[in-house]
Amino acid sequence: MTKQQARGLGKGLGSILGEGADISQFRSPVQYVNQTVGSGKQPSEGTVRLIPVAEIRPNPFQPRISFDEQALSELAESIKALGLIQPITVRRVSDDGYQIISGERRFRACKLAGMTSVPSYIRSSDDVGMLEMAIVENVQRENLDPIETAMSYQRLIDECNLTQEAMAERIGKSRVAVTNSLRLLKLPAKVQYDVKVGNISVGHAKVLLGIEDGAVQELLSDEIIREGLSVRALEQRIRAGVARNSAKPKIQKVECDLPDEHYKVLDIIGRYFDNNVTFKRTADGKGSMTVRFASDAQMSAFLEALQNKGL
């Protein structure tokens, strides 16, 4: 029994997946070729460069003061196998020194994995406008893989303080396209890698996103590669597995075609609940909205906001 199967797959779905042949040959670490930062060079902001570990310094304002050692070890093992899929973000503080803006956990895992250089976005922390233009220009080149595109969108949100709606306007994409792209970052690292290098398609990934169990997502990704499953064949295999599985894995129905007004509601309410808000909508406009909250404090903050607006 594999490690993933030990995590609680039901008999029905587990039986259709099985162990199968080893497909590790399809997964080699992600490489960033000819992009190493060298002495005297001034790399462009908004691009990825390999920076020597010795030149990277932690952020003294890092809010997290403790890191789960087991989780770091697991991330380090993933990095050894797949490489660092999502680079860290740094800013230059001297000719040969960089300070982490975001990604210290990934940086620590890279060191634990024995990496001597770490893929890093280089940005100026005091010129968000220039960074925004650099990222948008990079996205508009249209030669990025789906995961690189999704990470660029996420950077615009996190580092340039753009909403999804504002970002969609900047890059000339629909709000639905942006939302669907960002959802790819919810997949496990192994599945993200498969999308990144083309082992599976974005269509496959969208189907896998309908399954909540990351272990099942990984196993199904293996099956797609091993058997060359089409998107339709994948959907049929999942339906068959669910039908035979007495302990059914949770399948979430994804509704992406929403009016702009719905996305505005998601934006507003999501601010108070870490974006843990989902819509389900049918063609005739009926549906439901689900809000998941992590604590009483989140609900209190939302209530206070409503009261301050006189609602």
Catalytic residue among 45, 69, 74, 104: 104
Encoded tokens for 161: 């303080």
- Cα 277 to Cα 295: distance, rounded to the nearest angstrom: 15
Distance CA 266, CA 119 (A): 33
Alpha helices in 10-68 (DSSP H): 11-17
Burial 275-289 (b: 16+ CB within 10 A, else e): eebbbebeeeeeeee
Give ∠ CA 48-49-55 in degrees, rounded to 5: 130
Residue 250 DSSP code: P
The Cα–Cα gap between 104 and 138 comes to 24
**CA atoms of 234 and 118, how far apart (whole Å):** 36
Active site residue 104: yes
Catalytic residues: 104
